[in-house]
A and B are shown apart, each in its own frame.
Chain A
Amino acid sequence: MFKKKKSVYLLLAGVMALTVIIEVLFAHPHYHMLWNTVPGFDLIIGFAGGWALILLAKVVMAKILQRDEAYYETDNCCDSGSAGDCEGSSTSLRKDGEGNV
């Protein structure tokens, strides 16, 4: 779908140009803030907002919040270790019914 990035960029650029032209010619905003009145201002919101969210999610949140899939299955004693290292202890905990709540 996005293998030919240039074609996609061109298509989107065309769409954006068209909407801006339509906005200039026909739009009658109900509200009078900057993003309501300046044609094409929403492009900035879309681009900057998307960029900021990807940065926030993929760079900041992913690093802080993402863990190995077996994170909750492991015992507290080996939180930071790999799942394989504490497979025995987590299994025995589950059998005893004392795994994580």
Chain B
Amino acid sequence: MFNNLHPGLVLILFGIVMTAVPERLRKVLMIAGPLLAAVAVFGLDGNSILSVEILPGITLELLHVDDLTKMFLIIFSVASIIGAVYALNSKSRFETGFEAVYAGSSMGAVLAGDWISLVIFWEIMAVSSWLIITSAKTESASKAGFRYLMIHLLGGNMLLAGIIIKVAGGSMAITCLTGTGDAAFWLIFLGVAVNAAIPPLNSWISDAYPEAPVGGTVYMASFTTKVGMFYIIRLFAGTEFLLWVGVFMAIYGASMALIENDLRRLFSYHIVSQLGYIVASAAVGGALGIDGAAAHTFNNILYKGVLFMCCGAVIASTGKRRISDLKGLYHKMPLTAVCFLIASLSIAGFPLLNGFVSKSLVMNAMAAGGYHIAEILLMVASVGTLLSIALKVNYFVFFGNADGESEEDCSGKHTDGHVNRCTGVCTDIEVKPVPLNVKIALIMGTVGCVLIGVMPSLIYGLTPFGSDGHPFTVDHVTQYIEIFAAATIVFVMYIDHMAPHKAITLDFDWFYRKPLAGAVRWTSAAVSGLFDACGTAAFKLVTVGSCYLHSPAAMLENMGIKVPRRQGGIEDDDVLMKPAGMLVAINVLLALIIVTVVMVVLKVQGVS
């Protein structure tokens, strides 16, 4: 019955309707849409077809279903349902509507069977996610949204340019590009690299995600980059240079997270870090590499979703988003704290949690492929993940530091000049209760992390090649416990240096927020000034010229040439003749400009 039902179009339709219906009906649709999409996903198989002829000879294939697609669609459905439950309290019909459109377009991009369908859903995804960001309705969200849209439109245009080359070459179907290395390869790669957050095209994550509404961030963390990963796997699996790109991303993201203070920016860097594992695994290619990349993407959506949901719960309950403003929240938000602890250990790869299961596949892919340096460096990145999320955030936000003081609360209230030695009033953070729907969403995500962690076959069975990572061997488990124990010792040793302080961390977005923005402003001012100067000069020229040109007879008489003419004629009336003189002057000026341009063009052509 649902064999040919497009889950993405279902969600897009529900999303559009949600922007226009009353709140109660909208809440029903928020849950019904993802559920119907999930039903449609389970109905899809290799025989599913949905073709639309848009022009004679150009047919869009909207349903291309294989094992990789199915795996991504399953986790996208799960993320949509959890995200909808989490955002159920949102009062903004536009935010929730755009979230459904965004999730639907992501599914559409994954399901696309031809290049044109891909670019259509790709652009819908960019615009709908931008609308989610701007629905926060703050000045910073508006600016970050603008930057987000610019960089994604740039990526979309590169993708489109590559696709035009492909389609012009007669290839409509999406095919693997590994090894081609032509212009289409690089253009499509750059387009996908924006969504895949490959440095230096990564900073839109840490720039825009913290500014979006909390529910919107949960959605965004689940889709854009994961669609990017889908196309890294589908188009570029086995592209070797991506291995080192992935390793760099893993370490870079973890290092940036170590110094970050803003919770959502910190998690944004962890998105980059985790994407690094996926890119590296896809770069290794083969059954193990592709399965590792797919499984890690799947798990990443789950634990990253829980982390962002916990983070959103903390921000909504406390009104604070910086680690330096938070402390000891375990006592006020125990469920959130426990879910966060589990998800943070999961992202770090702790045994019996889902991150461990898929990291085992990724590491096996590295070892089997003979990429031993990359393997070691990815292990070091795991240490960074442990330090910056599982230890740093858990300690400073939830479990430790309960009787310490945050800098902001205490500023000005201590008498001895030491920030951490204040006493008296500033002992507590006001925490609003976490809504029931948020708790349910948190539990759903966390249960998913644990279930896959203890039953790895759940995920291994979904991978395209069905590879088994053998995660529970003694050497594997002891390896991770040893790494974690040793890294925890380092954390305890340097605990005084681990506390983040109020500062922002510059990223690659600095290049377009400072020098590029300055260059744009400078160029704009220079061009504007040049136009003004040209206008003033032209006006002066025309005014002066018109004095002579409005009465050619008078001009000749001034030059001493006698001209026979009727006295008191119309040509002696300045009011009537000055405009005519202006017109003549303008025409002369234009003629001069045209002649000059033509001569320059002829000269240039003559030279070439």
* A residues adjacent to B (C-beta < 8 A): 1-2, 5, 8-9, 12, 15-16, 19-20, 22-23, 26-31, 33, 35-36, 40, 42-47, 49-54, 56-58, 61-62, 65-69, 71-72, 76, 79, 94, 98-101
Contacts and interface: CB of A to CB of B under 8 A. Distances in A.
B478 to A, nearest CB: 4
12 contacts: A40-B482, A45-B376, A54-B497, A57-B384, A62-B259, A65-B507, A69-B504, A76-B517, A76-B518, A101-B150, A101-B516, A101-B520
Contacts of A99: 143
Contacts of A94: 139
B470 interface: yes
Nearest to A33: B372
Interface string B490-530: 11101101100011111100001110111011000000000
Interface of B: 139, 143, 146-147, 150, 251, 254-256, 258-259, 364, 367-368, 372, 375-376, 379-380, 383-384, 386-387, 395, 399-401, 470, 473-475, 478-492, 494-495, 497-498, 502-507, 512-514, 516-518, 520-521
8 tightest A-B CB contacts, nearest first: A46-B486, A50-B490, A49-B380, A57-B258, A1-B400, A46-B483, A42-B482, A50-B487
A100 B143 contact: yes
A69 B503 contact: yes
Contacts of A19: 478, 481-482, 485
Contact of B254 (A9, A42, A53, A69): A53
Contacts of A68: 503-504
B473 A30 contact: yes
Contacts of B255: 53, 56-57, 61
B485 A101 contact: no
Given A27-B475, A49-B383, A66-B505, A58 B485 contact: no
Given A2-B492, A49-B383, A49-B483, 7 more contacts: A2-B495, A12-B492, A31-B367, A45-B376, A53-B380, A54-B498, A58-B497
Contact of A36 (B139, B475, B506, B514): B475
Contacts of A69: 502-504
A47 B514 contact: no
B517 A100 contact: yes
Given A19-B478, A43-B485, A52-B380, A58 B490 contact: no
A99 B520 CA distance: 12
Nearest to A14: B485
B372 A1 contact: no
A54 B494 contact: yes
Contacts of B400: 1-2
A2 B395 contact: yes
A57 to B, nearest CB: 4
A23 B482 CA distance: 10
A50 B367 contact: no
Contacts of B146: 101
Contact of A23 (B259, B470, B478, B520): B478
B482 A66 contact: no
Given A12-B485, A16-B482, A53 B143 contact: no
Nearest to B512: A101
Given A27-B475, A100-B517, A101-B520, A46 B487 contact: yes
Nearest to B518: A76
B51 to A, nearest CB: 42
Majority secondary structure, A binding face: helix
Contacts of B486: 12, 16, 42-47, 50
Contact of B491 (A22, A36, A50, A65): A50
Contacts of B474: 22-23, 26-28
Contacts of A51: 490
A94 B507 CA distance: 23
Nearest to B482: A42
A101 B513 contact: yes
Contacts of B483: 42-43, 45-46, 49
A47 B487 contact: yes
Nearest to A42: B482
Nearest to A36: B475
A8 to B, nearest CB: 5
A36 B366 CA distance: 13
Contacts of A22: 474, 478
A99 B150 CA distance: 16
Nearest to A45: B379
Contact of A8 (B492, B497, B513): B492
Contacts of A8: 488, 492
A79 B510 CA distance: 12
A71 B372 CA distance: 41
Contact of B479 (A1, A42, A50): A42
Contacts of B488: 8, 12
A36 B494 CA distance: 28
B481 A15 contact: yes
Contacts of B401: 1
Contact of B387 (A2, A5, A54, A61): A54
Contacts of A66: 259, 503-506
Nearest to A22: B478
A64 B505 CA distance: 9
Given A53-B255, A101-B520, A46 B484 contact: yes
A22 B518 CA distance: 60
A35 B374 CA distance: 13
A42 B259 CA distance: 25
B547 to A, nearest CB: 40
A22 to B, nearest CB: 6
Contacts of A20: 478, 482
Contacts of B505: 61-62, 65-67
A53 B383 contact: yes
A21 B123 CA distance: 55
B473 A53 contact: no
B492 A35 contact: no
Contacts of A40: 482
